[in-house]
Amino acid sequence: MTFVFAQAGLVTGGWSYVWGAYVATWLFFGGYAATLYLRSREER
């Protein structure tokens, strides 16, 4: 039994998902940094 894969495991047209993941990651990091900054100001 022989299987032929046309794309050979490559995902085409997936850049919108990549950029979405980048944006979600940087929003998370930005929000986390903001909470750390606000917490450090409250402790002073």
In angstroms, the CA 38 to CA 42 distance is: 6
What whole-number distance in Å separates Cα of residue 31 and Cα of residue 28? Answer: 5
Residue bearing tokens 């450090």: 40
The domain containing residue 5 runs over which residues?
1-44
pLDDT tens digit sequence for 15-36? 888 999 999 999 999 999 999 9
Question: pLDDT digit string (tens) for 1-11?
Answer: 555 555 566 76
In one-letter notation, the amino acid at residue 10 is: L
pLDDT at 19: 94
| Count of domains observed in the chain | 1
Distances (CA, A) of 32 to 15, 25, 26: 26, 11, 10
pLDDT value of position 15: 87
Task: Give me the pLDDT at residue 14, please.
Answer: 82
Per-residue confidence (pLDDT) for residue 13, from 0 to 100: 80
